[in-house]
Amino acid sequence: MKKQEQSRCTQKTISLLSPLGTIQVSGCENGVHTIQILMDVAPAERSSEAPLSCVVTDSPAETSPEMQRCVEWLQAYFTQPQTAGSLPLPAFHHPALQGDAFTSRVLQVLLRDVKFGETVSYKRLAEMAGNPRAVRAVGGAMRRNPVPLLIPCHRVISSSGQSGPYMSGRGDHLKQWLLTHERQRGEG
């Protein structure tokens, strides 16, 4: 039934140009469905001098309040990251974030308990979600996170302190950038 409910949504997509490249936010009047980081900028083109901005490059004529809230949050995250934590998050409208499945529980715990500039190990997050033996399942939950950045899966690292994979290993450089961005901006 949830899948039918979601398929009845009229989804719209907003594109933003960020220091990570293009970010596409898809959602409906009920909330944000997905955030995709397109990785359309080669890693060599990113540097510490990259402009810290996040501008809308493509948007439908009308957007829902939830989509607008998401855009505002993303813009704050990149330009004034210390303020992002005080902004309201948009509603989420994706099946992975509904109900009490382990993936949903892990993502909700991560969102609620791991703050800007902090990191948590896969093992510790499994413990926080109520199943200390589910370390690999936590990794699976991170891979299935439909709204990266808003639910900060980039803050989950290995117990050894290594950053671990991001976007199935294709976005490891983005994870490093995000962690550095939060560390540097959190100090200021």
Q: Which domains does the chain have, with CATH numbers?
A: 12-85 (3.30.160.70), 95-184 (1.10.10.10)
Q: How far apart are CA 104 and CA 91, in angstroms?
A: 14
Q: Are 66 and 90 in contact (CB under 8 A)?
A: yes
Which range in 9-23, 120-134, 165-179 is most confidently predicted, on average pLDDT? 120-134
153 is an active site residue: yes
pLDDT one-digit tens code per residue, 66-117: 999 999 999 999 888 888 888 999 999 998 888 779 999 999 999 999 999 9
Residue 46 has phi, psi (to 5 degrees) of: -90, 140
Catalytic residue from among 28, 54, 70, 153: 153
